Chains A and B, each alone.
Chain A
Amino acid sequence: MKIAILNARVIDPATGRDETTPLHLADGRIAAVGAAPDGFRPDRTIDAKGLVACPGLVDLAARLREPGLEYRATLESEMQAAVAGGVTSLACPPDTDPPLDEPGLVEMLKRRAESLRQARVYPLGALTLALEGRKIAEMGELAEAGCVGFFQADAPLTDLNVLLQAMRYAATFGHAVWLRPQDAHLAHGGVAHEGEVSTRLGLPPIPAVAETVALHAILELAEATGARVHVARLSTGRGVALVAAAKARGLALTCDVGMHHLHLCDRDAGGFDANTRLVPPLRDAADREALRQALADGTIDAVCSDHTPVDDDAKQVPFGEAEPGATGLELFLPLVLRWGEEMKLDLADTLAAATSRPAAVLGIEAGSLAPGRAADLCLFDPVRRWRVTPAALASQGRNSPFLGLEVAGRVASTIVDGRVVYTG
């Protein structure tokens, strides 16, 4: 299959390319950008006038809810949501039921995902067995089955000796260790950022120190063990400062932020909207500003959708009883574009935060339009506005704090491995 894409504004964040030029795809690869290769005869020509063509988005956190949580979402619905959102590669956290702690589960998930022939799925294995924080999982076997890193997800890991040994073991084989910094005791029972808003609403608080205390421990252990650590879902300005300082002293560390935390803060929960119940909690406006800046200046390596489909029943309850999380895959592009626009970044720099930069975190080939690379692309209309409604979402999760609002940026086509897998 050969495809020619004409008249698109081609943006390759990896190289900084931003020009209107033809793109030629052949055999699942980028054949050429600009002039067609000799004898190139496209089977299909796409007129992409008015559209941006960029590498398919790479999402560091998308919960597909399989195995075990199919009542919330299925692989079919969420893989459809991924390509509808222009996402061509995604990492899925291990907090399924059962958790991804044995190779058979990972192989099954990979096989199921591949059979759908949509986005590429990169599972993150459980760091500890059953995510219980007691015994380390079979990282070698899991890596062989396809895991690209090992994550404790949102499960507590209170025994720091287990964390120390997990990092030592991972460092032995070069496995990446993913951790969301939150001290389980300091966060215990909390549902909202500790501050004026939690005080007004009477919501049990999670103090900012729950993040920074855990982060201090993670950074110390990373330095001591030499493990390749990825810090997931940073939420506080103080946390950003700790990561910046660690990077400045040479620690090989990566980190990400969830897209909702770039746009919302604790005040947005003012009406007890259960859709604003997220993990980590939405912090205050100053934290949000620090996160936005840190993603722009590279302290934070990448943004992710933190896609978490939750069924209506689990959100139609009081705030503190609501299942945390928000659907994200289809809002990923619009919310990244909005961040870039508000930060006055050019489109290539904006898109890097959701393409080449997360690809580098995962150490995968995606996120580039260089000839010879995999033909994973997203074609989108950067100015087309659309309203976020349940009917407009392919995901089974309709839980979003942006419901009812209008956003700009709509995916027109998604191409994976040189095949058009979505047309809007």
Chain B
Amino acid sequence: MSANPQIDAQGRLVHLLTTEGLPAEMILHILDTASQFVSVNEREVKKVPLLRGKSIFNVFFENSTRTRTTFEIAAKRLSADVINLNIGASSTAKGETLLDTVWNLQAMDADMFVVRHAEAGAPHLIARHVKAGVSVVNAGDGRHAHPTQGLLDMYTIRHYKRDFTRLAVAIVGDVLHSRVARSQIHALKTLGVPEVRVIGPKTLLPADVERLGVRVFHDMAEGLRDCDVVITLRLQNERMSGPLLPSAGEFHKAYGLTPEKLARARPDAIVMHPGPLNRGVEIDSGVADGSHSVIMPQVTYGIAVRMAVMAILAGNA
């Protein structure tokens, strides 16, 4: 099996499955392409004909209205035909296998699949089995990867901070279950960020996470010191109490981003969050809506980055 199934022999992007192993030039090409689309999105007619006649299937085995909508908008602004399928939590529950579903859709002449699935590696499996010329975009697989989110975060960081090679970036909270954190870490390391930190209790940090090239902090005040970028992660409701955490309140006390804790970071630090927010849990409203927050620009740039990924995969950028 190819070590990097998303890049072909000529170095072209054929699928977007993970930010791990994505060359820096490719990431920068995606970000540069996205910046052209940002201006498209600011125009009155927010549409370019790059993907006219192409069929993009949003195949969501795990529901997410937000993410699906951003992909849908991105595809429509590229003039593609978009078909949304919410297949629900489990492919097997329906009796049809994941690959049968994909092969059926492929027979309807799909050009691209945007896939979200609860199981890590599901988009890899699909990418291995689609015919040549059909692309797979991972829109989130289990705890593994959410590459377009990682890339839009890189876009946002570059927009505000310009130079990746001088930054300290802290990722705070439930790294264990976060595909977003993993995609961010790989992209940040590839782009040459010298200091990537993860901050959280031992129950919410995955084993050997330092082997990904990050520094581990359990004390938030220490971890945030002199950071240029603070990324807070969403804490899922079902994880707020149980064996991993005693309560949302105790989590907030230790790891919730408050103005006081943020004061440890650099004065010009930006605050990011992949959404949706749990106000008062991982982030205070005062921070989420405050002057350091770039959470809304993240959403805006997300459309442009997804347009860039689709255009590049279609060979039109």
Contact = CB atoms under 8 A, between A and B. Distances in A.
Interface of A: 194-196, 198-205, 207, 270-274, 313, 316-321
A151 B55 CA distance: 54
Interface in B126-152: 129, 141-145
Interface in B1-57: 1-3, 5, 20
Given A202-B142, A313-B97, A318 B5 contact: no
Interface of B: 1-3, 5, 20, 92, 97-99, 117, 119-122, 124-125, 129, 141-145, 179, 182, 206-209, 211-212
A201 B179 CA distance: 9
Most buried by A among B119, B129, B211: B119
A198 B206 contact: yes
A199 B97 contact: no
Contacts of A318: 98, 117, 119-122, 125, 141
B99 A272 contact: no
B92 A317 contact: yes
Given A201-B144, A202-B143, A271 B182 contact: no
A74 to B, nearest CB: 23
A408 B3 CA distance: 26
Contacts of A273: 1
A315 to B, nearest CB: 10
Contacts of A270: 3
A272 B209 CA distance: 19
A199 B211 CA distance: 9
A158 to B, nearest CB: 16
A195 B211 CA distance: 9
A313 to B, nearest CB: 7
Contacts of A274: 125
Given A273-B1, A321-B119, A205 B207 contact: yes
B121 A199 contact: no
A320 B211 contact: no
Contacts of B99: 316-317
9 contacts: A195-B208, A196-B207, A202-B142, A202-B144, A203-B121, A271-B2, A272-B120, A316-B129, A318-B121
Contacts of A201: 120-121, 144
Most buried by A among B1, B120, B122, B179: B120
B207 A203 contact: no
Contacts, number: 79
B207 to A, nearest CB: 5
A282 to B, nearest CB: 15
A85 to B, nearest CB: 26
Contacts of B98: 317-318
Contacts of B141: 202, 318
A268 B15 CA distance: 22
Ranked nearest first, the 7 interchain pairs of A and B with the lowest CB-CB distance are A202-B144, A272-B121, A202-B143, A318-B119, A199-B206, A196-B208, A271-B1
A202 B97 CA distance: 22
A321 B121 CA distance: 10
Nearest to B124: A272
A199 B207 contact: yes
Nearest to A185: B243
Contacts of A313: 97
Most buried by A among B3, B99, B179, B207: B207
B5 A200 contact: no
Contacts of B1: 271, 273
Nearest to B17: A272
B120 to A, nearest CB: 4
Contacts of A199: 182, 206-209, 211-212
Given A200-B182, A201-B121, 12 more contacts: A195-B208, A198-B206, A200-B212, A202-B142, A203-B143, A271-B1, A271-B2, A271-B3, A271-B5, A272-B120, A274-B125, A320-B120
A67 B292 CA distance: 65
B179 to A, nearest CB: 6
A34 to B, nearest CB: 50
B3 to A, nearest CB: 7
Contact of A203 (B3, B120, B124, B208): B120
A274 to B, nearest CB: 8
Given A195-B208, A196-B211, A316-B97, A202 B120 contact: yes
Contact of B20 (A196, A200, A319): A200
Contact of A316 (B117, B125, B179, B206): B125
Nearest to A318: B119
Contacts of B182: 199-200, 202
Contact of B119 (A195, A316, A320): A320
A204 B141 CA distance: 12
A321 B3 CA distance: 22
A319 B92 contact: no
Nearest to A272: B121
Nearest to B90: A321
Contacts of B20: 200
Contacts of A319: 119-121
Contacts of A205: 206-207
A270 B145 CA distance: 14
Nearest to B121: A272
A199 B142 CA distance: 12
Contacts of A317: 92, 97-99, 119, 125
Nearest to A313: B97
Contacts of B206: 198-199, 205
Nearest to B177: A202
A60 to B, nearest CB: 31
A49 to B, nearest CB: 40
B294 to A, nearest CB: 26
B274 to A, nearest CB: 15
B207 A202 contact: no
Nearest to B145: A202
A207 B97 CA distance: 30
Contacts of B97: 313, 316-317
Given A201-B120, A205-B207, A272 B143 contact: no
Contact of B207 (A194, A271, A320): A194
